[in-house]
């Protein structure tokens, strides 16, 4: 009974799931660094004065400016409309993997990055949404909490790729995954998003073991679903071959992203999440400034 | 090579399997070790990757070698290698094993058993017919068996608790027809038994004879009948040969096999007898069930102790003790001498004796058991005690009714100067008497006795008579117990009975009456029959008797030695069991003389079987192989050393740092509590309540400092689970519904605290105790928390209670609230007629004071000394009264009943003045 009581109390007090807390901490650390830049481009700031036209609302007239001359001027601001950012995080079973070299699973790292990015964006006044959720992009604390609950409570499924779902035009997409699906499928999904008018970013989450292949000796590799296995008498003998393949895979992804005008970011789970977040935010923020 | 020279294999053909080792090598080589399993998400990328080298994974050569060696060991072990001489059969004729399996063979039975096994193994290989003759097992005919069957029978063969009957076995063997001249192996017990030479000659006539005997200094040992001493037992130990010194230990064993005492024995060279003195504490003496030579494991080295060996608790009371101070102990002296070796005696008054829980009470010449003692003795007898009374001058007149028969007043003189009759002799004991079987010595005469009134039951109640038929000992059952009367004195004044051995025997029998045995069962004459209770096997272990063991006659019990019909053991009724031991005073352990035959000694196992050690080595190798395989597969995590070491060292450091700190914290609390007398409060776990308690006791402490000679330090909060309460004279305990349930340790701590003189001031803080319906939260908490405590009966503080007078004169006990009742331990009611005392207190302080006025809030002050909480009336007077109550309570807890006694000072001074 105390268990349920405590849970109720936590829920009532709005206690955040630990991952969300981690994400918040992460995003607040980042925001300190880019604070000044971010304020400059949000849309509050002045863009230009323009002559009043009859369709303009009277309340938009800048009376001080108008008083200096004969004409009425309307004050236009930069970026009146906030942009929507569509997020997608791969939740397949393979994402729940971490090797002995990493402390968190790929899924956890992806979730933390997703939430931290969302938190940053919301603080910057953007709207966020999760692809496949039947909700328009929204902003504010509520949106972040909703996102956190969806991401954290969702059981691992086999949805590696973002589903076909309506998205708002001229938005951005940020896709966190280990991108171990066939390249063709990834390309199809990216094209579908691009057709819907989204430009985007791929964040490739990599477990250190996946990149370094530290295995030696007689080893049977099993897929996470357990369906496929590969047996090597001496795992170290295929290390170079595997590394080459993995590198090629990453390059292929990167090329694909560049070709589509997307950005590509590789992130190892044994590295700091903060570095990845800074880089990622620079990409997303840079895109926004461009647009 | 001398070691390997004696290496033989029982199944040499199995060694051919060694040829298969290369095949095993090959098979093991191609079987790779199982791979380590690793989950790997990007498996798709691995698929289709080809390892550049195609050589299959190999088991490392050293692991392979390990396995091959293990396999070789198993094969060699299965071939059953044996080191030692291989007894090649002399002939192919029949083999006779003539085995002494009395208890004399039990101590070395393993050697015999292995010799039998080896011989039968050899016989089995040569397919010789075998006859087994066990001399202690009565046999009428002897069958020739094949060796395999003989081996099965031989495995069942065990030593018996009686001596072998070689003559009977020889007679049976003589009737057996053999195809050829048999080879006879006599596995003797190395004891002559008086017929060794005759036996060897008879055996030599039948076939070629080999005799085995014990090695020097390894012959059997036996325990002869023990002597009870004041501090335990002295047991003579007997050995066969008398060569060299030999030491050992005799142990006293209780009913559950526990060791109760022991004594060593040392055989000097040339001596075949030694004494072991066993010392046991008197308390455990009666628990001894047997004496046994440790590590001997033979029936003869075990002495069972019967019921008569157990000491009874006996009370001795003489008229002298009761009626005069003169140390005239002659009656008691004879009783003490007679009973001393087998009973624990308690002298003194009847009351003394009965409080010592005696089972037998002896009264010498006590005419009337007076007053309360009569009731005690009557109860004692009714509940199963045995009362044995002796007549005397005081019994001649007017005795009480705790006697078996009605007595005639006045004694009867026989053989005095003025008497007609001669002193009388004793008649043989009647059948129903427990004395039946005891021999009546001629010289015992009775010159004076007390006579019984003739009655119907007189004859059946008489256990001993004089030759003229007048009763000497009468007895009657009362309730569960017995009343026995000797019609003569306990000393030699009236008869010479106390001077005879019969006196001792009679008293001994009577002691057993207290075990609840029927008197007739105590009799041990030749015709009495005793059923077996438990029997000994040859190794000296007790067993339930099997159905074919017959009851033994009393006569046999004394004379006979154990036999197959009557094995050694305990016989008789439970509580009066008689020990029938394997060895007795007649036992002789003379070793075998030199015989005209091949003489050999049991040399332990002459051969060493290598099968078991080899198998053990093979299993260890396979275990090592398993560990190594696990390691190779990566399933065995061997932490990298520096890291692992660091982690372990870290843990150690943490433990080292944490543990002393913990105890240091406790010590600090104890020191703090012990070095100053402090006020204390119970930490309820509810912070506002605890803060108020602390502030309240601080405020009260300030008042105490300014007004009294008691200077309390800052109050301490007590965790009931953790802290020691014994330092605090007074503990304040506010009741709060939020407080958690008490742990059992806390409850027992609290009751210890209250029992040992501490005072709990319990504050329900609701002013409802008494008067109003008391189901307020505070009261409910009080019930919940203290329901399990053992509280004394309570009463509201009476007007004359010492609590109202310890420092201030008070009649109300306000706190933050006013008017609630305060409860203390109920005082004993004032003695009617006593002068009204100005103050009453119990003996010591009330362990608990319960009220509901929220005293702590009234006392509480903040850091600047200003009161924290308002009192209910708002008047300064109420707070002042609350402080006064606090001072009174602390003084009450600190001074105890000293203050109660102070009220008597004027009266005492006045009395002192008067005396001057």
For residue B50, the chain A residue with the least C-alpha distance is A238
Chain segment B774-797, per-residue pLDDT in tens: 567 777 788 787 777 777 788 888
Backbone region of residue A248 per phi and psi (left: phi > 0; alpha: psi in -120 to 50; beta: other values) = alpha
B57/A contact by beta carbon, under 8 A: yes
Would residue B3 count as lying in a domain? no
Distance CA B865, CA B278 (A): 77
Distance CA B35, CA B348 (A): 88
Judge contact between B225 and B281, C-beta under 8 A: no
Nearest to B36 among A97, A219, A249 (CB): A219
* Alpha carbon of B695: minimum distance to chain A alpha carbons (Å): 32
- Cβ <8 Å between B49 and A224: no
Q: Above 60 in pLDDT, residue B834?
A: no
Reduce the DSSP state of residue B348 to 3 states and report it: coil
Side-chain half-sphere exposure of B679, counting CA atoms within 13 A: 28
Which of B268, B296, B324 is the last residue before a domain boundary?
B296
- Cβ <8 Å between A220 and B55: no
Higher pLDDT among residues B305 and B555, named by residue: B305
Would residue B880 count as lying in a domain? yes
| pLDDT at res. B785 | 79
Same domain, B510 and B563: no
Would residue B130 count as lying in a domain? yes
Low-confidence winner among A17-21, A130-134, A163-167 (lowest mean pLDDT): A17-21
Low-confidence winner among B13-17, B327-331, B850-854, B867-871 (lowest mean pLDDT): B327-331
Pairs of residues, one from chain A and one from chain B, whose beta carbons lie less than 8 Å apart:
90
CA-nearest of B260, B251, B321 to B292 is B251
Which residues does A215 contact at the CB level (< 8 Å), separation at least 6?
A209, A221, A235, A236, A239, B38
B39/A contact by beta carbon, under 8 A: yes
- Cβ <8 Å between A233 and B51: yes
- Cβ <8 Å between A222 and B38: yes
Same domain, B730 and B840: yes
- Output the average pLDDT for chain A: 77
For residue A106, the chain B residue with the least C-alpha distance is B41
Backbone angles phi, psi at B28, to 5 degrees: -65, -35
- Cβ <8 Å between A233 and B37: no
Distance CA B289, CA B259 (A): 10
- Tell me the pLDDT band of B126, cut-offs 50, 70 and 90: confident
Chain segment B221-253, per-residue pLDDT in tens: 888 888 877 778 888 888 877 778 888 889 888
Would residue B535 count as lying in a domain? yes
* Range ranked top by mean pLDDT from A97-111, B42-56, B360-374, B892-906: A97-111
Residue B477's Cβ-count burial label (10 Å; 0-12, 13-18, 19+) is middle
Q: Above 80 in pLDDT, residue B895?
A: yes
- Cβ <8 Å between B43 and A222: yes
A53 DSSP β-pair partners: none
| pLDDT at res. B887 | 92
- What value, to the nearest 5°, has the Cα angle with vertex B252 and ends B247 and B254? 150
Nearest to B41 among A218, A224, A230 (CB): A224
| pLDDT at res. B364 | 82
Chain segment B249-266, per-residue pLDDT in tens: 898 888 888 888 888 888
Same domain, B348 and B415: yes
- Tell me the pLDDT band of B322, cut-offs 50, 70 and 90: very low
| pLDDT at res. B135 | 85
Task: Kindly list the distances between the CA atom of residue B247 and the CA atoms of A208, A276, B294, in Å, as whole numbers in the listed order.
Answer: 75, 86, 11
Distance CA B459, CA B778 (A): 79
Q: Which of chain B's residues have a Cβ under 8 Å away from the Cβ of A247?
A: none
Which of B497, B520, B543 is the last residue before a domain boundary?
B520
Distance CA B444, CA B504 (A): 13
Distance CA B792, CA B463 (A): 58
- Cβ <8 Å between B634 and A217: yes
Within chain A, all domains assigned CATH 3.40.50.410 are found at 84-290
Distance CA B876, CA B870 (A): 10
Q: Above 60 in pLDDT, residue B888?
A: yes
- Tell me the pLDDT band of B662, cut-offs 50, 70 and 90: very low
Q: What is the CATH number of the domain that holds B148?
A: 3.40.50.410
CA-nearest of A37, A203, A246 to A110 is A203
- Cβ <8 Å between B35 and A230: no
| pLDDT at res. A255 | 92
Please compute the mean of the pLDDT values over residues B794-807 and round it to a whole number.
84
Chain segment A223-273, per-residue pLDDT in tens: 877 678 888 877 888 888 889 989 999 999 999 998 888 889 899 988 888
Would residue B643 count as lying in a domain? no
Would residue B84 count as lying in a domain? no
Same domain, B804 and B787: yes
Would residue B4 count as lying in a domain? no
Number of domains in chain B: 5
Distance CA B749, CA B764 (A): 21
Distance CA A219, CA B46 (A): 12
- The pair of three-digit structure tokens given for residue B411, joined into one six-digit string: 């004694």
DSSP state of A61: B
Q: Above 60 in pLDDT, residue B346?
A: yes
Residue B554's Cβ-count burial label (10 Å; 0-12, 13-18, 19+) is buried
- Tell me the pLDDT band of B661, cut-offs 50, 70 and 90: very low
Nearest to A180 among B41, B49, B634 (CB): B41
Which of B296, B321, B339 is the last residue before a domain boundary?
B296
Same domain, B190 and B253: no
Higher pLDDT among residues B181 and B397, named by residue: B181
Judge contact between A161 and A192, C-beta under 8 A: no
- Output the average pLDDT for chain B: 79
Same domain, B885 and B842: yes
Same domain, B559 and B421: no
Judge contact between B101 and B137, C-beta under 8 A: yes
Q: What is the CATH number of the domain that holds B377?
A: 3.40.50.880
pTM of the model: 0.42
Would residue B9 count as lying in a domain? no
Nearest to A237 among B36, B53, B632 (CB): B53
Task: Kindly list the distances between the CA atom of residue B339 and the CA atoms of A75, A92, B305, B310, B507, in Å, as whole numbers in the listed order.
Answer: 129, 94, 18, 12, 7
Judge contact between B411 and B450, C-beta under 8 A: yes
Q: Which of chain A's residues have a Cβ under 8 Å away from the Cβ of B46?
A: 221, 230, 238, 242
| pLDDT at res. B383 | 83
- Tell me the CA end-to-end span of chain A in Å, nearest whole number: 54
* Alpha carbon of B608: minimum distance to chain A alpha carbons (Å): 46
Same domain, B199 and B277: no
Q: Which of chain B's residues have a Cβ under 8 Å away from the Cβ of A220?
A: 35-38
Which residue range forms the structural domain that includes residue B200? 95-218+592-606
Distance CA B406, CA B391 (A): 13
Same domain, B330 and B247: no
* Alpha carbon of B693: minimum distance to chain A alpha carbons (Å): 29
Same domain, B234 and B287: yes
- Cβ <8 Å between B51 and A222: no
Distance CA B852, CA B818 (A): 9
* Alpha carbon of A80: minimum distance to chain B alpha carbons (Å): 44
Chain segment A63-81, per-residue pLDDT in tens: 888 898 888 888 776 554 5
For residue A246, the chain B residue with the least C-alpha distance is B45
Side-chain half-sphere exposure of B157, counting CA atoms within 13 A: 31
- Cβ <8 Å between A241 and B56: no
> Interface pTM (ipTM) of the complex?
0.71
Nearest to A232 among B33, B45, B51 (CB): B51
B42/A contact by beta carbon, under 8 A: yes
Higher pLDDT among residues B313 and B34, named by residue: B313
B283/A contact by beta carbon, under 8 A: no
For residue A241, the chain B residue with the least C-alpha distance is B49
- The pair of three-digit structure tokens given for residue A103, joined into one six-digit string: 């402390």
- Tell me the pLDDT band of B400, cut-offs 50, 70 and 90: confident
- Tell me the pLDDT band of B616, cut-offs 50, 70 and 90: very high
Q: Which CATH architecture has domain A84-290?
A: 3-Layer(aba) Sandwich (3.40)
Please compute the mean of the pLDDT values over residues B191-218 and round it to a whole number.
83
**Can you list the alpha helix ranges (DSSP code H) found in B571-715?**
611-632, 641-675, 687-707
For residue A94, the chain B residue with the least C-alpha distance is B41
Same domain, B464 and B534: no
Chain segment B697-744, per-residue pLDDT in tens: 999 998 998 888 888 888 888 888 888 888 888 899 988 888 888 888
Which residues does B220 contact at the CB level (< 8 Å), separation at least 6?
B103, B104, B105, B106, B107, B108, B189, B190, B191, B214, B239, B240, B298, B300, B301, B589
Q: Which of chain B's residues have a Cβ under 8 Å away from the Cβ of A221?
A: 38-40, 43, 46
Distance CA B646, CA B641 (A): 8
Chain segment B39-90, per-residue pLDDT in tens: 888 887 887 777 655 455 566 778 888 888 888 888 888 887 777 655 544 5
- The pair of three-digit structure tokens given for residue B140, joined into one six-digit string: 């009428």
- Tell me the CA end-to-end span of chain B in Å, nearest whole number: 112
Handedness of CA B621, B627, B633, B634 (dihedral sign): negative
| pLDDT at res. B94 | 84
| pLDDT at res. B840 | 61
Percentage of chain B lying above the pLDDT 90 cut: 2
| pLDDT at res. B668 | 78
Same domain, B262 and B154: no
Reduce the DSSP state of residue B812 to 3 states and report it: coil
């Amino acid at each position: 009974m105390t268990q349920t009581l405590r849970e109720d109390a936590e829920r009532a007090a709005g206690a955040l799931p630990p991952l969300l807390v981690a994400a918040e901490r992460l995003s607040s650390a980042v925001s300190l660094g880019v604070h000044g830049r971010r304020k400059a481009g949000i849309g509050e700031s002045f863009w230009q004065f323009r002559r009043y036209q009859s369709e303009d609302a009277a309340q938009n007239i800048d009376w001080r400016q108008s008083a200096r001359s004969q004409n009425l001027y309307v004050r236009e601001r930069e970026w009146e409309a906030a942009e929507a950012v569509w997020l997608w995080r791969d939740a397949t079973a393979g994402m729940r993997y971490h090797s002995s070299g990493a402390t968190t699973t790929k899924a956890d790292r992806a979730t933390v990055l997703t939430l931290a990015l969302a938190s940053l964006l919301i603080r910057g006044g953007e709207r966020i949404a999760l692809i496949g959720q039947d909700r328009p992009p929204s902003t504010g604390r509520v949106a972040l909490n909703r996102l956190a609950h969806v991401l954290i409570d969702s059981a691992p499924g086999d949805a590696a790729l973002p589903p076909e779902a309506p998205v708002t035009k001229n938005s951005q997409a940020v896709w966190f995954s280990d991108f171990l699906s066939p390249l063709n499928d990834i390309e199809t999904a990216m094209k579908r998003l691009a057709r819907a008018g989204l430009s985007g970013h791929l964040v490739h989450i990599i477990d250190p073991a996946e990149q370094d292949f530290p295995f030696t000796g007689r080893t049977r590799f099993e897929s996470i679903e357990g369906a496929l296995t590969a047996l090597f008498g001496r795992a170290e003998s295929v290390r170079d071959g595997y590394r080459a393949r993995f590198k090629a895979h990453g390059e292929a992804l990167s090329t694909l992203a560049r070709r589509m005008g997307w950005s590509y970011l590789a992130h190892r789970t044994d590295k700091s999440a903060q570095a990845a977040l800074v880089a990622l935010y620079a990409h997303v923020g840079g895109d926004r400034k461009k647009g | 090579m001398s070691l390997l020279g004696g290496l033989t294999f029982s199944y040499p053909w199995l060694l051919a399997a060694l040829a298969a080792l290369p095949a095993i090598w090959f098979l093991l080589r191609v079987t790779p070790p199982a791979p380590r399993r690793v989950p790997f998400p990007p498996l798709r990328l691995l698929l289709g990757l080809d390892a550049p080298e195609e050589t299959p994974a190999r088991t490392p050569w050293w692991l392979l070698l390990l396995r091959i060696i293990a396999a070789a060991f198993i094969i060699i072990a299965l071939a059953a290698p044996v080191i030692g001489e291989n007894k090649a059969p002399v002939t192919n004729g029949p083999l006779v094993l003539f085995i002494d399996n009395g208890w004399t063979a039990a101590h070395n039975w393993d050697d015999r058993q292995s010799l039998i096994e080896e011989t039968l193994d050899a016989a089995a290989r040569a397919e010789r017919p075998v006859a087994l003759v066990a001399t202690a097992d009565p046999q009428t005919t002897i069958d020739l068996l094949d060796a395999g069957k003989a081996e099965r029978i031989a495995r069942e063969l065990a030593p018996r608790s009686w001596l072998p009957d070689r003559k009977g076995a020889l007679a049976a063997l003589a009737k057996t027809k053999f195809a050829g001249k048999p080879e006879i192996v006599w596995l003797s017990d190395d004891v002559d038994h008086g017929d060794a030479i005759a036996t060897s000659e008879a055996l030599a006539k039948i076939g070629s004879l080999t005799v085995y005997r014990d090695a020097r200094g390894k012959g059997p040992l036996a325990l002869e009948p023990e002597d009870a001493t004041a501090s335990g037992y002295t047991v003579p130990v007997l050995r066969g040969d008398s060569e060299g010194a030999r030491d050992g230990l005799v142990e006293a064993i209780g009913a559950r096999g526990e060791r109760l005492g022991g004594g060593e024995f040392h055989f000097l060279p040339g001596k075949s007898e030694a004494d072991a003195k066993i010392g046991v504490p008197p308390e455990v003496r009666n628990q001894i069930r047997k004496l046994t030579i440790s590590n001997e494991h033979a029936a003869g080295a075990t002495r069972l102790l019967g019921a008569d060996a157990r000491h009874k608790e006996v009370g001795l009371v003489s008229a002298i003790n009761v009626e005069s101070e003169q140390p005239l102990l002659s009656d008691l002296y004879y009783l003490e001498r007679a009973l001393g070796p087998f009973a624990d005696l308690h002298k003194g008054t009847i009351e003394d004796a009965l409080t010592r829980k005696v089972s037998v009470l002896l009264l010498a010449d006590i005419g009337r058991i007076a007053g309360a003692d009569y009731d005690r003795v009557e109860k004692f007898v009714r509940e199963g005690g045995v009362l044995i009374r002796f007549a005397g001058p005081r019994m001649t007149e007017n005795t009480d009714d705790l006697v078996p028969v009605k007595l005639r007043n006045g004694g009867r003189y026989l053989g005095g100067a003025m008497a007609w009759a001669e002193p009388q002799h004793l008649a043989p004991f009647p059948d129903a008497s427990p004395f039946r079987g005891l021999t009546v010595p001629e010289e015992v005469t009775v010159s004076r006795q007390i006579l019984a009134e003739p009655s119907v039951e007189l004859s059946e109640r008489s256990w001993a008579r004089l030759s003229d038929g007048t009763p000497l000992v009468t007895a009657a059952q009362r309730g569960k117990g017995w009343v026995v009367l000797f019609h003569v004195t306990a000393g030699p004044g009236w008869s010479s009975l106390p001077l005879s051995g019969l006196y001792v025997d009679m008293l001994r029998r009577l002691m057993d009456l207290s075990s609840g045995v029927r008197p007739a069962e105590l009799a041990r004459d030749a015709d009495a029959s005793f059923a077996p209770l438990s029997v000994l096997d040859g190794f000296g272990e007790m067993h339930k008797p099997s159905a074919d063991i017959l009851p033994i006659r009393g006569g046999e019990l004394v004379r006979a030695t154990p036999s197959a019909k009557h094995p050694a053991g305990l016989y008789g009724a439970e509580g009066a069991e008689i020990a029938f031991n394997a060895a007795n005073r007649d036992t002789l352990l003379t070793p075998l003389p030199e015989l005209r035959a091949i003489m050999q000694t049991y040399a332990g196992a002459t051969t060493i079987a290598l099968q078991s050690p080899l198998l053990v080595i093979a299993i260890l190798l396979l275990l090592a192989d398993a560990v190594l395989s696990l390691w190779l597969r990566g399933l065995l995590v061997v932490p990298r050393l520096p890291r692992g070491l660091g982690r372990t060292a870290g843990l150690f450091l943490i433990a080292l740092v944490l543990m002393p700190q913990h105890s240091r914290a406790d010590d600090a609390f104890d020191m703090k509590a012990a070095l100053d007398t402090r006020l204390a409060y119970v930490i309820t776990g509810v912070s506002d309540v605890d803060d108020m308690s602390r502030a309240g006791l601080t405020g009260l402490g300030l008042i105490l400092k300014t007004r009294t000679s008691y200077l309390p330090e800052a109050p301490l909060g007590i965790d009931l689970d953790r802290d020691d309460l014994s330092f605090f004279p007074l503990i304040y305990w506010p009741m709060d519904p939020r407080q958690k349930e008490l742990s059992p340790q806390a409850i027992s701590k609290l009751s210890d605290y209250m029992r040992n003189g501490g005072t709990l001031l319990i504050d329900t803080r609701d002013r409802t105790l008494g008067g109003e319906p008391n189901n307020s939260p505070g009261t409910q908490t009080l019930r919940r928390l203290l329901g399990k405590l053992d509280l004394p009966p309570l009463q509201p503080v009476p007007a004359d209670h010492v609590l109202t007078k310890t420092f201030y004169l008070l009649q109300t006990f306000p706190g933050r609230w006013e008017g609630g009742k305060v409860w203390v331990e109920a005082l004993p009611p004032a003695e009617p007629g006593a002068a009204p005392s100005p103050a009453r207190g119990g003996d010591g302080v009330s362990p608990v004071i319960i009220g509901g006025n929220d005293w702590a809030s009234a006392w509480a002050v903040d850091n600047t000394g200003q009161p924290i909480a308002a009192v209910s009336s708002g008047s300064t007077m109420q707070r002042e009264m609350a402080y006064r109550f606090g001072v009174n309570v602390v003084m009450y807890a600190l001074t105890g009943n000293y203050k109660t006694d102070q009220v008597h000072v004027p009266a005492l001074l006045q009395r002192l003045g008067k005396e001057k």
